Structure 1
Amino acid sequence: MFFPRLKWVAIISGLLLLSACNSADVPTSRPAASLVNTESVQSIFYAPSQQFIGRIEAYKDVDIRAQVSGYLLERHFEDGQMVKQGQVLYDIDPTRYQAAVAQAKASLAQAKANLTNAQINWQRASRLLPQKNISQSEYDRLTAEKLSSEAQLEAAEALLSASLVDLKHTRIVAPFDGRIGQSEVSQGDLIANSNGRLTNLVSLNPIRASFKVSERERLNMGLDQVDAHSSAQTETAIVQLKISDERIYAHKGQLDFIDNRIDLNTGTIGISAKFANQQQQLLPGQYVEVQLTSHASVSALVIPRRAVQSDLEGEFVMLVSEQGTAERRNVSIGPVLEQGVVITTGLEGDEQVITAGLQRIRQGVPVQVVEPQAG
């Protein structure tokens, strides 16, 4: 009874052992290598560049105000036109001030006559006093009259000067070349200094772009070595503008101001650059992009921008390891140049970065380079 059962157990055990031996002899199949393209890391020299948001400002920006009161006789400009220094802008009725000048001239003439008479009397008394023909008190009185007449003459001269200044201010002229704003008054208005500004005048050529940089950016660009009022500063940085329509402004600028302290609230320092503006393309209040480019070149490693990926850990690239597998390398990136993106940390310079086929690979999978490129 037991022998048939043992026979079947032996047969089944033999079959299982044979199956195990056969499966051990069959090699495990490896996954197929993913096809990728690579490029070499390039080492280049480039001039560091930084972009900042700036605002255009006029070097001269003044409100034109009346310094004397009176009726406005005439306006000599059109709103928004360019004016020259000394050009007449407004005429205020000068009648009252002409009369004041005439009165001041008469007072001056009277003061001169009084002084002449006082000097004659004093000189006569000076000759009579030694012979005791005049008392000391009389001599002192005549001396006081002479001094009083001299003071009255000075007061009359000052009054005439003030009257002439008031008369001059009835004609308002442009203090410098620039573009005039909209007039706030019309012919026939009674105007005075209390009325506020009559119009506004700004200079447009040259003009400045003001912007702020951080302390770190100031040091990186070498601006801590710049004397803004020295021609040597042009050897430190090239200043260019990009205006609102993405065009590069035709004229390069020159740094002309670096503030004397760091703003405690923002950690930035104020800087400005001067630009020629003959065509008035730049206007005060206009926002621009200021680009500072260093004259000194530095070495850098660059790779194609398409080779850089990012996830929650940051930016990274995939390389081909010596074992023929994909290898992840975390990197820090810098500016994007014409040659590619600058890699500040993470690469040594002798690697081959994967530029195509990235969607099919991950860390450690086999890869096959289809078309390695020198970059």
Structure 2
Amino acid sequence: MNNKGKWNNILVPLLSVVLGLVLGALIMFAFGYDPIAGYQSMIKGAFGNSFYIGETLRQATPLVFTALGFSVAYTAGFFNIGVAGQALLGWLCSVWFALTFPELPGLLLLFLSLVVGAVAGAIWAGIAGFLRAYFNTSEVIVTIMLNYTALYTTNYLIRNVLTNASDTTSRIPAGASLRVEWLTTLTKNSTLHAGIFIALFMAVVVWILMKKTTSGFEIRAVGLNPFASKYAGMSTKRNIIVSMLISGALAGLGGAMEGMGTFQNIFVQGAMPTIGFDGMAVALLGLGNPVGILFSALLFGALKIGGNSMPLMAGVPTEVVDIVIASIIFFVGANYLIRFFIDKRARVNKGGVK
């Protein structure tokens, strides 16, 4: 990729964010709210002190996992809509395992609980991968259906297996928790947990996997042209399934972050966890690059946490935050339009037209 392409890949997401914030400001102004005060309160609510910083990082943590999972499948040429369901099953199974084997040593229990969550997500995504590889079914339709299957299965298991007709399970054993005292003290009793370090580690792992390994090269090749990949001797079926397994495992880990770190239990869900669909937006904004995903997840975490302060500090409804996020996603989706104007301006300047 030339320098122009690299700069465009940085400029397009930045413009998407700026345009989304501008549109949010215009909407606030149109309904009689002060956009400057609104955004000031958002920034203060996301980074105003160590507690808010901790909450912002905690909010970003599962988004890194679900975004990485979506990006792996997307690089292979698949739109894994099912990251939400895979995250939910990872959440359920990690908590279930921790509650079932409380006598295990702490670090072993935590490690195995996270592994179980990753395996659960991988299996759930693998169903769609297998059907796509061998029956050419649409992974979009299959993963959407699997999302709802995961939601209602999880709610049933919580009420009828994990509890006695309760909507919330017991808290996991202390040994299975991702909470660490020094992080809690450092961030003034925020819910930030050690999952943030696992997220950073997995971002590096995914970058190495996709950029520096043969498997990553094959996944990217299948995404670019499955027919040429097959002609070159690559197994398209195997790479389809492998990419979906990796995608689901990462999403399952994202769900496990909620069970082992944020909430310490699992409860009946009224809808799919937002970390799934927000993670997809994070991946698109980060252009599927692990480094971009880290910054994008931090932005979304700040928007979500900072947005909670907007009604109290500036009187701006939290729905405006959702409008800003939706606007950013819209402009990310319209990146071809942004690139068109960037390229047009470059051609005009090159031609000497002012």
TM-score by length of 2: 0.19
| Higher strand proportion (structure 1 or 2) | 1
Higher RCO structure, 1 or 2 (CA under 8 Å, sep 6+): 2
| Higher helix proportion (structure 1 or 2) | 2
